[in-house]
Structure 1
Amino acid sequence: MIRVLSPSRSAAVAAVATVALILAACGQSGDNAAPAADAGVVNVYSSRHYDADEALYARFTEETGIRVNVVEGNADQLIARLRAEGEASPADVFVAADAGALWRAQEAGLLQATSSETINSRIPANLRAPGGEWFGFARRARIVAYDPARVQPSEIDTYEEIASPRFRGKLCVRSSESVYNLSLVGALIEAWGPERARQWVDGVVANMARPPEGGDRDQIRAVAAGVCEIALTNSYYFIRMGNGEEAADREVAGKLRLAYPSLNGQGAHVNVSGGGVAAHAPNRDNAVRLLEFLSTPESQTLVAQMNFEYPISPDVAAPAPVDAYASFQANPMAVSLYGPRQAEAQSMMSAAGWR
C-alpha cells in the first residue's frame, strides 16, 4: 500500500490533501492532461522509508520554501504507477534504494536526462547514470557480518570465499528476490562472466545454513545466535544495530564484526540510493533543485548520521559512528551496470535453488 507522507509534521494534512487531489485528478477516466506546474511544490515517488529522508525534505523546504510531497511504496509499485499515469503523472522525482531499481525506471522510459554541473561535480561518475537519468546520493556496501570466535577475517577477504566449501552450511542470506542480492550477483556477472558467477551462486546455495528468510538484520541476528557463522548484509543495517535504541540489537552487533570482501582485488561491492527527474515532471526545475540539494555535503552528512549510510562523495568525511567503518576500499565498478544484469542474475539464482 502506498502512503503519502510529509517532511513537515505540521504540514502533513495539507500535503496529503494536495497529493490526494492530484492523484484523484490523474485517475479520472479520459483525463490525460498533464497536471499544472506549481512553483511551490515538488512531488517525490520514493521507495526509501527512512526518517533521514523526512529530515532532508524538511530542511529543503526550510531553505527553499518548496514543499515536498512524498508518495511512498516499493520500487516496483511506484514504477507500475508511473507507467499507468503516463503523461498525467504528478511525479517530479523518483527515488529508490538500489541502482538496479533506478535502472529499471530508466529502462522503462520513466526518467529524463538531467544535465547539472552541480550534481556532476559532487557525485563520482561511477555512482550515477552515464546519461544523467539518475544520481546516487548515499552509498552502502554489501559485505559480510561474521562471528570472530569462529571465523578469521582472512577467510572472508574475497567474495569467492563466501561460496567456498569452508562455509558449507554456515551462511545466512536473504532471498534471491532481494534487489540488493540481485545487484550483487549482477556485479559478479559483469566482473567474472556468467559461468564463474553461476559457480559462485551454486556455492552460496550449498553453503546456506537455512532457507532464506527475513531481511539483513535477521541474518545478522542468526549469526549471533549460532545459526550460521557468516551472513551477507548491507553495511548500514549492521552499523544501525550497533548504534540504535534496541539494547538487544546493540548486544548482537557487539558480538560480531564486519568484513569487506574484495571483488577482483579492487574493493568491496557498493550500491547507491539515488533519484532522478520523472519523465513528465510538471515541476522540473524544483525536481533538479531537490536533487542538487541531496548532493550537497550537508545532505550527505545528514543521511550518514541518521541512516548510517556512507556519503556518496569521497570528499565528504563520514561522520560518527559511520566513520569507524569507512576506511574500506570501494570497488570502482559503475553501479549503472547492475540493472542490465539483474534478469540474468534472477534466472541464475532461481536455477540454483536460491529462493
Structure 2
Amino acid sequence: MLNKIKWIKATSIATFTLLISSVSASALANEVNIYSYRQTFLIEPILEKFTAQTGIKTNVVFAKSGLIERLKKDGRYSPADVVLTSDFARLMQISDEGLSQAVSSDILTANIPSQFRDNDNQWFALTKRVRNVYASKERMANLSGISYEDLAKPQYKNKVCMRSSKHPYNIALVASMIAHHGSAETKTWLQGLKANLARKPQGNDRGQVKAVKEGECDLALGNSYYFGVMQQDPEQKKWADSVNILFPNQHDRGAHINVSGIAMTKYAPNQDSAKKLMEFLSSSQAQQVYASVNMEYPVNPTVKPSEIVASWGAFKEDNLAMTKVAENRQAAIMLLDEVKFDL
C-alpha cells in the first residue's frame, strides 16, 4: 500500500511540519518513509510493485524543494529513511552535509556500475540522462559530429540557447569539462560559449527547444528525457519535430551523463526496509518502469532503454565517474561566476 502525501509546490512551515508528523507517526518496522523530489506519476507505479512483492508499506512526501532542509532541522528525530533526488546536486548535498549513511549491499554493487555510486556507498544513481545538443533540422542539418567544445567556436555566434548555467544539469556539465580539460581551458570555453548565446540564459530545457522551433537560436542544450516528453505532448511535439537530437563527443570521450539517485538518511528508523527498497529500485523490474515512464536510461546495464528512447540511436557515453563530477562542482560554480555567464 502506498501512503502518499500530495506534491508540495509551496507550503507554510506549520503545514509542512504537520505533513511530516503524519509520516513519523506511522514509522514501523515493515514500512519505509520516503522523501521524494521525483514526481508522483513516476514513483507511484514502482512503489506499488515494491509493496506487492515485499509487503513493505511505503509512506511518501513529494516536494519540489525543502526536503533536505527539513531533514537537517529534524536531525535524529526525522522520520525519513531515504531521499529520492531528481538530480546529482542534491545527492551530493545530502552526502556532503552528513545527512546520509553508507549502505553495504552486494545487490546494489552488482546492479549499479561503480561510476554511478559513491566510493563510500553514501549514494547510488538510479537513472541516467544525456546532456544533448538539439539542432534545428532546417538550419543545422549536418552536425552529427558536434562536441560540447564546438559550441564555443565563432561559427556558432548568436546561435546557442540554454537555461541558466547555475542549474544543476549545466553545473555538472561544466564540472565534467574541468575534469577533462582543467580549469583554465574550461574558462576559455565558457567565455566562447557565452559569446555564442543568442539570448540571456533563461527558461527550462524544453523552452530551449521551443526557442529553436521559433527561430531564436539554432542549437540548444537539454537533457535527453525531455525529448521523449515533448514527443508525447500534442502541443510540444512540434518543438521536438523541429530538431535533431545529437549526442556530442562521439569521436572522443562520449556524451556527458547526469543522474537521478537515492541515499539512505543518517538516522533512518527503518534501515532494513529502506535497504530493500534501494535494492528493488536497482532491479531490472523497477529499472524497466523508470525507462518506460520517464524515458530515462536505466543505470542497471542489463536493462534496455524503452522503444522510444532506443529510436534516438545508440551512442557512446562519457564514463567519467560521478565522484569526479562532484569533486569539480565548486570549481565549476566559481568559473561561472568569474565569467558572469548568466549576465
Map 1:206-245; keep pairs closer than 5 Å: 206-242=195-231, 244=232
Name 2:99's counterpart in structure 1.
110
SS in 1 for 2:35: strand
What whole-Å deviation, never above 9, does each CA across 1:254-284 have from its counterpart, x for those lacking one? 1211111118812100011110111110001
SS in 1 for 2:191: helix
Name 2:13's counterpart in structure 1.
none
Q: Does 1:247 pair with 2:234? A: yes
Check the 8 A contact 1:104/1:339 in 2, yes or no. no
Residue among 20, 23, 44 paired with 1:23: 20
Name 1:278's counterpart in structure 2.
265
Check the 8 A contact 2:115/2:322 in 1, yes or no. yes
Structure 1 CA distance for aligned equivalents of residues 5 and 214 of structure 2? 44
Cα pair distance change 1:51/1:65, threshold 3 Å: same
Unaligned residue ranges in structure 1 (runs of 5+): 1-6, 27-33
Residue among 19, 25, 30 paired with 1:40: 30
Structure 2 CA distance for aligned equivalents of residues 22 and 73 of structure 1? 11
The two structures have a TM-score, normalised by structure 2, of: 0.91
SS in 2 for 1:349: helix
Q: CA deviation at 1:235?
A: 0.3
Structure 2 CA distance for aligned equivalents of residues 93 and 252 of structure 1? 37
Check the 8 A contact 1:46/1:71 in 2, yes or no. yes
Name 1:55's counterpart in structure 2.
45
What whole-Å deviation, never above 9, does each CA across 1:25-59 have from its counterpart, x for those lacking one? 99xxxxxxx98951222111121225121211122
Residue among 306, 311, 327 paired with 1:324: 311
Q: CA deviation at 1:96?
A: 1.1
The two structures have a TM-score, normalised by structure 1, of: 0.88
Check the 8 A contact 1:45/1:72 in 2, yes or no. yes
SS in 2 for 1:91: coil
Check the 8 A contact 1:22/1:35 in 2, yes or no. no
Identity of aligned residues (%): 34
Name 1:30's counterpart in structure 2.
none
Q: Does 1:81 pair with 2:60? A: no
Cα pair distance change 1:223/1:35, threshold 3 Å: same
Structure 2 CA distance for aligned equivalents of residues 23 and 35 of structure 1? 9
Q: CA deviation at 1:339?
A: 2.3
Check the 8 A contact 2:4/2:59 in 1, yes or no. no
Structure 1 CA distance for aligned equivalents of residues 313 and 118 of structure 2? 24
SS in 1 for 2:193: helix
Structure 2 CA distance for aligned equivalents of residues 149 and 25 of structure 1? 54
Check the 8 A contact 1:318/1:326 in 2, yes or no. no
Structure 2 CA distance for aligned equivalents of residues 175 and 130 of structure 1? 30
Name 1:299's counterpart in structure 2.
286
Structure 1 CA distance for aligned equivalents of residues 216 and 26 of structure 2? 55
CA RMSD of aligned residues (A): 2.4
Name 1:336's counterpart in structure 2.
323
Name 2:79's counterpart in structure 1.
90
Q: CA deviation at 1:309?
A: 0.4
Q: CA deviation at 1:64?
A: 1.7
Aligned residues: 334
Map 1:140-151; keep pairs closer than 5 Å: 140-151=129-140
Q: CA deviation at 1:73?
A: 2.8
The one-letter amino acid of 1:23's match is: I
Q: Does 1:313 pair with 2:313? A: no
Cα pair distance change 1:65/1:220, threshold 3 Å: same
Q: CA deviation at 1:230?
A: 0.5
Check the 8 A contact 1:187/1:338 in 2, yes or no. yes
